[in-house]
Structure 1
Amino acid sequence: MAPNSGLTHPYQQQLSRTVCQNSSLQNVKSDLEVALHRAFSIGNRPYKAATVVFINWSNDDMGVVQRQEELAEVFRDKLHYRTEFYTIKTEDEHMHFNIVQWLLNLAKVRGGKDSLIILMYSGYGQTVPDDSGRNEFIIGGDSNYMAYNFKGPPTSLSWHQAVSIVETHAGDVLHILDSDHSGYMVVNDGPEILAATSPVGQISFSSVLRDTLHSLNGSPVSASGLFARVCQQLHASGLEEMPVYVPNLRQKTSVILHSLAPDSITSLAQTPPKDVPKSGIRLLITVHVADSINPELMIQFKSWLSKEIPSICDSVKVEVQGSSSIGSSSLLLLTIPIEMWYYLPMGKKYTYLAIVRSGIVTDLN
């Protein structure tokens, strides 16, 4: 199984974009505010309808259908989401056409404004470079076919080509992938993705999500927050690889999962959650700032962090751990919630150093 690097900044291996240059302290404040709003979905409207689509293969030999059914039960009982299953028939010569048509019909009925559709795949998968050199995620119904470079009868589909039709009709879409190599599915300005790989025979990502959602008991949590909670219990859960989270940078906020029970809808509609469950995992990062930060500016910046950040979202802390001057610029050492990391601008301005658990710095490697 290929390893996943869960804290790799989104797209950094794939995209050729202008690197962020050092910016002012005011820009850093703006970046932190935006990341906070997007990561925790502050002010996000509650969904009026939500559907989870579980996709698998007819020749399942890994027990994924049972695990999907167990996860579906939690979505139904705790969040009151509608669940649907689609089984791809390996002998179907028109499997691509049929799944696209089925998903199109579902999206027309279940999609629309203020709706959420979650696409959940469990099974074999592989990444192959497309014509542009980016990785394309291929799902397959036959491990031998996937292992031998797609030789023999075609029993595979391009995940993006098969399911992208949903995004043209649904309000919000979240992809959840429990498959080999799914952590390498990096899409330029693509959908929001949660993915992880587990060795065959070991605890599955689906099972960990089931337990995590069950423990939340319908409390609202953003997709980035769900990712962080899985990271928090990585070793205890039995997962051997760090999960991967990829945000949808076209959306203002992360997808937020919340109960559709009548009382939950009412409370969320009246008062958007200012305090949503957080994992407690923090990252140690460096920030390159164009300003030369004197002691007075540092005092002002720390004061802003201690007052402004909690005013946006309760119990969130962004803290300065150190600073140094580099000529006319400065280097800040900050700790932030892991949920915010993926919503900071890509480039050399922000650099990940380590993960912090209970005040102890731990290198991910």
Structure 2
Amino acid sequence: MGSSKPHDAFRIAKTPKQLQNFARNLEVALERAIKNNGPYNKVSVLAFHWANDEMQVVTLESQLLEIFTEVYGYETESFTIPVAQSTQCLGDKLLEWSKLRRGQGTLRIYVYSGHASHAGTVDHQWFLGGRANARGDLVGPRVDWFVVKHLIEYSEGDACYIFDCCSAGSAALYDGPEVLCASGWGQTAGSNLPFSFTQALIDTLKDLAGETKTLAEIFAIMYRNAYQSQMSASPLHIARRGNPSIALAPLTSRKGESVEPRMTRSQARDHVDHRVLISVHLQEDTPDLQSWSRWLATNLPPVVFGVDVKIESVFRAGSTLVLVTLPLEIWTMLDPRDEAFTFVAHVLSNNILPVLEGRGMPIRPPPGPTSSENMPPGQHYRKSLG
């Protein structure tokens, strides 16, 4: 839950970093967001849903698997979780399926659609289920995902999760497989299928038509289009620590030849109307916006400078506090444990204060001897009697 007084507000100071290190962080994040870690020799997709599913998710699940099969050439399979001995059956299926598809040059994609319990980032249990009551509480058989996921996360090869459910961010944490999902921790995902995460993902993949994109890039596209798609919750992306984002690319072309990576750095350019504003604590004590801008133009690597990373403002705050806007693709790949970075907001422009000041539109009129600020209470309401 948001607050005007988060815990960080009562910290004396954060550990700052050097500007050169910040530039390197941006470069690494961008490289990991757009780098193609394939091509894979084999990509397999396992989608699973409940036998007592009340939302009829199997229709969209089938459409998603069809895209993975027809457009990307991936092997796909659907599994129905039974209501009897659910944990054992799902665990056995995940383990057996993963054993046959592990190895170097392989990618395993696990897709879940259904209900899930609410959970936070420190909970030790997170349950999946086929039915829920009006309050969103699971009803009937359920499976603790934290029990079964350990059977598959340490197999050789790459793996990722695509989950459409409530609290979907609980599917994995920063040390686990990469995640693209419908909602964050403790958030509710919509049950209206035409406006669901899966439908938005299907539409996105159809628009891409087999173009190579990483999960970080797909997340950015879906997030920017979330309002247009009328999604009930914002999608979430969780990177895998120290690894590039997994790229979805067709295994073979229509002629049966391997597809070369087509991803370029220019593809990571953000839309001008949607970016992320973060604060950065730096060691350098030069609160001069023009100086920072000149430094950026001279020292930032070209790969970063070309994707609209912009310093919006600079403040003295013990260390130097810098407000920076950057593309979603870079933001989602920054190390979330780095306390020098703090998320501020999703924004739709650069800093517009200079524009407003240029138009003669100050936020607050300057105080003067005749302004109401210097009058006794109620004085400015009196009429002159001449």
Q: Same fold (TM over 0.5)?
A: yes
Secondary structure (helix, strand or coil) at the match of 2:300 reads: helix
Of 213, 222, 235, which residue of structure 2 is paired with 1:230?
A: 222
TM-score w.r.t. structure 2 length? 0.76
**What is the match of residue 9 of structure 1?**
none
Change in Cα spacing, 1:43 to 1:219, as seen in structure 2 (3 Å) is closer
Partner residue, 1:158: 144
Partner of 1:96: 87
* Counterpart among 288, 298, 311 of residue 303 in structure 1: 298
Distance, in Å, in 2 between the alignment partners of 1:252 and 1:261 is 24
Residue number in structure 1 paired with 2:30? 36
Contact 2:172 2:178 in 1 (8 A): no
Give the structure 2 partner of residue 138 of structure 1. Answer: 127
2:234 to 213, 238, 242: 242
Gap change, CA 1:216 and 1:277, over 3 Å in 2: farther
Question: Which of 328, 332, 339 matches 1:338?
Answer: 328
Residues 14-163 of structure 1 aligned to structure 2 (within 5 Å): 21-40=15-34, 42-90=35-83, 92-93=84-85, 95-128=86-119, 133-134=122-123, 136-144=125-133, 147=136, 155-163=141-149
| Residues 13-45 of structure 1, C-alpha deviations (whole Å, 9 max, x = no match) | 9xxxxx9610111111121111112222x2523
Note if contact 1:45-1:272 (Cα within 8 Å) is conserved in structure 2: no
- Offset from partner CA, 1:257-310 (integer Å, 9 cap, x none): 111124773422xx7744446552311222111112366565233323373426
| SS across alignment from 1:112 | coil
CA distance in 1 between counterparts of 2:260 and 2:57 reads 36
> 1:208-287 to 2 correspondence within 5 Å?
208-249=200-241, 251-262=242-253, 265-268=258-261, 273-276=264-267, 280=271, 281-287=274-280
**Structure 1 residues 337 and 85 mapped into 2: Cα distance closer, same or farther (>3 Å)?**
same
- Structure 2 SS opposite 1:127: coil
Q: What amino acid is aligned across from residue 172 of structure 1 in structure 2? A: D
Q: Gaps (5+ residues) in structure 2? A: 8-12, 183-187, 353-386
Q: Distance in 2 between matches of 1:358 and 1:265?
A: 40
Q: Which has the higher contact order (CA 8 A, sep 6+)?
A: 1
For 2:48, the aligned partner's letter is I
CA distance in 2, matches of 1:272, 1:129: 35
Contact 2:128 2:144 in 1 (8 A): yes
Q: Summarize deviations over 1:60-96 as a string: whole Å, max 9, x none.
A: 2211001100111111122111111110111x22x32
Q: Greater Rg, structure 1 or structure 2?
A: 2
- TM-score under structure 1 normalisation? 0.80
SS in 2 for 1:110: coil
**Amino acid of the structure 2 residue aligned with 1:217:** A
Distance 2:269 2:92 in 1: 38
What is the letter of the counterpart of residue 129 of structure 2?
Answer: G
- Unaligned stretches of 5+ in structure 1? 6-11, 14-18
The structure carrying a bigger strand percent of its residues is: 1
Deviation at 1:235, TM superposition (A): 1.1
CA distance in 1, matches of 2:101, 2:301: 42
Shift of 1:149: 6.7
Taking the aligned partners of 1:272 and 1:149, their CA distance within structure 2 comes to 42
Offset from partner CA, 1:233-260 (integer Å, 9 cap, x none): 11111102111111111x4211111111
Q: What RMSD in Å do the two structures reach over aligned CA positions?
A: 3.0
